[in-house]
Amino acid sequence: MKHIRIKYSTTLSIVLLTTACSTSPQVSPSENDALNAISNSSAKSDKGSLQSALDSFLEDDWTPTVEKDKAIQKKYMKRVDTNESSTTNSSKFVEDEDKPFTLQEYVDKRAAYVKEHPADHNNSHVHKLEMMPVIGNNRKR
Give pLDDT tens digits for 15-54.
Answer: 767 765 555 566 666 677 777 777 766 666 778 899 999 9
Mean pLDDT of 115-128: 84
- At 33, the amino acid letter reads D
* Contacts of 66 by beta carbon, 8 Å cutoff, 6+ apart: 72, 109, 112, 113
pTM score > 0.85 for this model? no
Between 59 and 43, the higher pLDDT residue: 59
- What is the pLDDT, as a whole number, of residue 89? 63
Closest CA to 64 of 112, 103, 98, 123: 112
Question: Where do the structural domains in the chain lie, given as residue ranges?
Answer: 49-131
Between 99 and 112, the higher pLDDT residue: 112
pLDDT digits (tens, 9 = 90+) for 73-105: 888 888 888 776 555 667 788 887 888 889 999
Residue 141 confidence class, pLDDT cut points 50, 70, 90 = very low
Confidence check: pLDDT of 71 > 80: yes
Confidence check: pLDDT of 7 > 60: yes
